[in-house]
Amino acid sequence: MKATNSLYDNCKVFLSEAFGFLALLPLGLLINRFVPNLQIHQVPVSIIFAFLVALVIIRIMVDLFRPLVIPAAALLFSVLIYNQFSGGYTLVNGIHDYGHWVTGNWDARDQKKLDGLNVMPDVWGDSRTELADTLRSKADFNDPTVRNFAVKHSLESFDGSFDKYQMVARELSLFKYINHNFKYVPDPKDNEYYATPRETIQNGLGGDCDDHALLMGSCMEAIGAQARVVVIKGHMYPELFVGGKADFQKFETAVRELFADQHVDRIYYHEHAGQYWVNLDYSAPYPGGPYLNNEVYLVANL
């Protein structure tokens, strides 16, 4: 009887610690979103603080709910096993969603829910926050020049498909014009210059990857869409929010039909919590072209 109790107690400890360990990373990243950026000598103090708080919370929760962990685990796995045969939410789905939740929050760890404190500019904030602020300040989609440009070219192609695809047809028309007419021109040597969308329009759609990303993202915002800029190693590109899974499938169908001459093989996108963002980079002549790499540095909503 003692051996049985010992085994039961050991299982409680193992399961409670395992659940606590799995919860530590997402909880720490979530708390970090509400903590102002703080760096001291390049040490990310804010994220360290967030994980320490998460560790304390999890320690308390583990000790508090340890007596219930085995019944809870048994119920959870029973439901997952049932779902495996009934077509419901399975363990594989859970692992998939956990991975996306963690990676999504890790990629957005410097996009704070609270405004950063600027009372000590050498300590508070970091390069990612500064870059995100710079990009947002340049993306003026309320500028009449940008709005008029976006409206004009959203009507230029695929107008006959509006009844079928609604605003997707407008978005694809705008993408087509910018994608087909943008010309790459590098920045001055040793000087990163972020052109506003108005500047890029006025100079004849010439610029580098960040100018293209700001132009495409701002123009999409100017016609009521939602866009963001993704900064990766050595590159920057825009993404368009298309909605949930059904919206994405509709968008994908529209791209394959309206860009049929491009023989679209695959639509590249990022999905998190059932929300789909499609690549609008100039790396392909159709929306959803391949990503140049997956080393994400920053995701900035415009």
The pTM of the full predicted model, rounded to 2 decimals, is 0.60
Query: Quick check: 144 pLDDT over 50?
Result: yes
Q: Is the confidence at residue 74, as pLDDT, over 70? A: yes
Please write down the long-range contacts of 65-68, taking CB distance under 8 Å and 24 or more positions apart: 65/16, 66/12, 66/13, 66/16, 67/12
Q: What is the mean pLDDT of residues 257-285?
A: 93
Q: What is the mean pLDDT of residues 61-90?
A: 81
pLDDT of residue 194: 92
Spatial neighbors of 179 by CB under 8 A, at least 6 apart, are 280, 282, 285, 286
In this prediction, residue 100 has a pLDDT band, given cuts at 50, 70 and 90, of: low
Q: Which residue type occupies 108?
A: A
Q: Does residue 300 surpass a pLDDT of 80?
A: yes
Please state the rounded mean pLDDT for residues 48-55.
Answer: 90
Torsion, Cα of 71, 75, 81, 83 (10° steps): -170
Residues 185, 208: contact at Cβ < 8 Å?
Answer: yes
* Tokens found for residue 268: 């590249």
Top-confidence range, 18-22, 151-155, 295-299: 151-155
Which tens digit of pLDDT belongs to each residue from 3-17?
556 787 888 888 888
What confidence score (pLDDT) does residue 124 get?
39
pLDDT (0 to 100) of residue 205: 97
pLDDT at 81 over 90: no
Average pLDDT over residues 199-208: 96
From the CA atom positions of the chain, what is the Rg in Å? Answer: 24
Of 234, 221, 218, 243, the C-alpha closest to 297 is: 234
- Is 114 a residue whose pLDDT tops 50? no
- What is the average per-residue pLDDT within 242-257? 96
pLDDT at 152 over 90: yes
When pLDDT is averaged across residues 180-200 and rounded to a whole number, the result is 91
- Of the candidates 234, 190, 175, the one whose C-alpha atom is nearest the C-alpha of residue 209 is 234
User: Could you report how far apart the first and last alpha carbons of the chain are, in Å?
Assistant: 63
- For the cut 80, the answer to whether the pLDDT of residue 297 exceeds it is yes
Is 290 or 103 the better-scoring residue by pLDDT?
290
Which alpha helices (DSSP H) does 87-208 contain, by range? 91-107, 127-138, 144-154, 162-165, 167-181, 197-202
Higher pLDDT, 190 or 139: 139
Interatomic CA distance for residues 120 and 41, integer angstroms: 14
Cβ–Cβ under 8 Å, residues 16 and 65: yes
Q: Which residue has the higher pLDDT, 2 or 101?
A: 101
Contact 158, 169 (CB under 8 A): yes
